[in-house]
Amino acid sequence: MAEQLVELNVTGMHCNNCAMSIHKLLEKKGLHDVLVSFASEEVKFSTDDQSILPQIIKDIEGLGFKVVDEENIQPTPFYEKVENKFIFCAMFTAPLLLHMVFPWHFLHNPIVQLILCLPVFAVGCLHFGKSAYSSLKNGTPNMDVLIFVGSASAFIYSLVGTIEHLGGNYLFYETCATIITLVLLGNVFEKRSVNQTTSAVKDLMKFQQVNANRVINGSVEVISAKEVVSGDTLLVNEGDLVPVDGEILSGDALINEAMITGESIPVAKTKYDKVIGGTILQQGNIRIMATKVGSNSTLSQIIDLMKKAQAAKPPVQKLGDKVASIFVPVVILIALATFAITYLATDAGLQRSMMHAIAVLVISCPCAMGLATPTAVMVGLGRAAKNGILIKGGDTIEAVANTKYVLFDKTGTLTTGKFSIHDIKPEEGFTMEQIRGVIVAIEERSNHPIARSMVAELQSLTQQKVILRTVKEEKGLGMRAEDVDGNNYFLGTAKHKSLDNFNLTLYRNQVRMAQIAVDDTIKPDASGLIAQLKKDGIIPVLVSGDKKTRCATVATALGIDEVHPEMLPDDKLKVVDMYRKKGKTIMIGDGINDAPALTQADVGVSMNDASQIAIQSAKVILLNTDLQSVVKFLQISRHTLLTIKQNLFWAFAYNIIAIPVAALGFLNPMVGALAMAFSDVIVIGNSLRLKVKRVNR
């Protein structure tokens, strides 16, 4: 039986350690293609045995998480919301802290302090204790173990002091309550920040939640876009979101495709043109036939690719994950060592030794290391998507760093793919008007891109066309025709070597009428792109299957020094390999012949209007055909990697400095809890800067 992809929505994950515990569980079960994202609360894996699914769900819930049905997601109960837990705990913690400021005798009463602390400790046990126990049971202790051990130690120590009437020096109820309350506050900020990091995907998903006007027997019914099936006729009015991918049956419209391409200028659409679900019809009214619906739609595929990309780990994350996985046991050992050394080697006494150990536990933060990479990747991918750049994997971002070469295909990449006539050279005895008349009469019968371009260019210049009786297209050669007077014409590929710059010839009755030079035009922003790459120290290279002279013309016009013309797909592979040995290499192309090279390069970049094979082979898709998207992609990738490194540096530096400081007794456990609570927020906040940060530096 073929393996099927299973997708589950799992709530309760609040950091990368949580995701790692589920990931390890599923790998132990022998499942494949496991992807776990704590931010989007999604778990994916492949299995050929669907019968094990109930047990898998039970095992995940056994870790302390909850598997929910996406279609029937119930709102989080009031008492389970982390914001409400924080408010509840803060109400009891505040009076406990007041006794340190005001000399109110009843607040110093051990029983009063116990009564105030007990509700907070109960919430802490349910919130942190359950997660801590589940993580220990699974063999991947998380940060909640440290929080629970630290707060429980303070509570038990204080409880013993109360029962034994040992006096105020043994009462640390405020420490226990404050640790729990401050960490919950950190969780509140963390939750809100993480929600912002995944906003790009959520924004795209909103475009799917629209209604559609389905036309049946002349009447219109309003249905959900999810109910549309392929082949339905839909009415889209001015101001509406296009509900699904389709083809225009009637009407004209201006459609804003910014959410797909990043291009804010509306695109004119008419009969037979394709429209994309989620785009906005700014002007006009159209009827469309639904062609791609559900998971096959462009928007669904983009969302799916973005989710997979956010879950794909760059190599730089492996260090953070590795340290985070052994971090908790190491910190517990340091805390025990701190207690033992302080108690046995100094005269600090039991309470100070214990406070030092608790400070070590609550100030350490493995979550910061776990959050450092995924939050930056999510924001970076989201910003790229809003600029019309779809990056298929978080690992691609790191692969772009230190790029040395960018290899370009010519046609459709650096050039528009729309052909124009550069020159027509009439032979003796034939006029330009005659030649134009024959070209237009013959080529308007062809659907070839060159033919359509030539007709569009010459139509207005032609006074009189030849009247043709028959026209026949010979694949790979050209067009043959016969006019009403019995003259035979041939318009096709130039074969003579002296005609290298003139790639088409026109014959009448086997006598050459003219030589024609046709070529596609260079994209207006191509020269700016090449100049920017050179400025950044990246060497541009032209790799094309086209003729040497035409490649040389384009390369000279753009300032590209390294040119490889007349390349077959196998040849392009060899060229990519050659450059990869010299340095990091990006390949940008759009045709079927580019697919192997796109796969072979360190990073393959495909244009949106490329062949499907090229899009599947590439790691990056430019949804906007504007070539400046290439520069934007490099800039966003560079700054995303820089943000990851900044986050990891902070996470490691914070723990390396904070733990020894706490162990030496320079930090109160409450201050430690506050520092730990906000270390995650600092990491996420730095990642969120990517949303607005200037990247063109």
Q: Are 307 and 7 in contact (CB under 8 A)?
A: no
Backbone angles phi, psi at 690, to 5 degrees: -60, -25
Residues 6+ apart with CB under 8 A from 192: none
* One-letter identity of residue 664: L
* One-letter identity of residue 304: D
Residue environment code for 555-587, b if the CB has 16+ CB neighbours within 10 A, otherwise e: beebebeebbbebeeebbbebbeebbeeebbbb
User: Could you report how far apart the first and last alpha carbons of the chain are, in Å?
Assistant: 52
Taking each helix axis from N to C end, the angle separating 130-138 and 143-163, rounded to the nearest 10 degrees, works out to 130
| Euclidean distance between CA atoms 380 and 638, whole angstroms | 10
| Euclidean distance between CA atoms 44 and 22, whole angstroms | 11
| Euclidean distance between CA atoms 138 and 135, whole angstroms | 5
What strand order describes the sheet that includes 603-607? 389-391, 620-622, 603-607, 584-589, 403-408, 539-543, 562-564
The dihedral sign for the CA sequence 391, 396, 402, 406: negative
Exposure of 118 by Cβ count < 10 A (0-12 exposed, 13-18 middle, 19+ buried)? middle
* One-letter identity of residue 22: I
DSSP state of 241: B
Q: Give me Rg for the CA atoms of the chain.
A: 33
Q: Is 347 a catalytic residue?
A: no
Q: Are 662 and 376 in contact (CB under 8 A)?
A: no
Q: Are 518 and 503 in contact (CB under 8 A)?
A: yes
DSSP state of 496: -
Q: Characterize the bridge pairing of strands 403-408 and 584-589.
A: parallel
Residues in the chain: 697
Q: Pull the structure tokens for residue 602.
A: 């360190």
What are the Cα distances from residue 135, in Å, to 24, 140, 184, 443? Answer: 11, 5, 19, 71
Q: Give the SS3 label for residue 601.
A: coil
Q: Pull the structure tokens for residue 301.
A: 């595929």
With helix as H, strand as E and coil as C, how does 220-239 read? EEEEEHHHCCCCCEEEECCC
What strand order describes the sheet that includes 468-474? 415-426, 511-522, 504-508, 488-493, 478-483, 468-474
| Euclidean distance between CA atoms 222 and 215, whole angstroms | 9
Residues 6+ apart with CB under 8 A from 453: 418, 419, 420, 518
From the list 395, 409, 546, 626, the catalytic residue is 409
Distance, CA of 678 to chain centre: 26
| Euclidean distance between CA atoms 167 and 174, whole angstroms | 15
Q: Are 262 and 235 in contact (CB under 8 A)?
A: no
Q: Pull the structure tokens for residue 324.
A: 């985070």
Q: Identify the CA nearest to 485 among candidates 501, 474, 470.
A: 470
| Euclidean distance between CA atoms 483 and 299, whole angstroms | 50
Q: Identify the CA nearest to 419 among candidates 434, 439, 435, 438.
A: 439
**Which residues are tagged catalytic?**
409
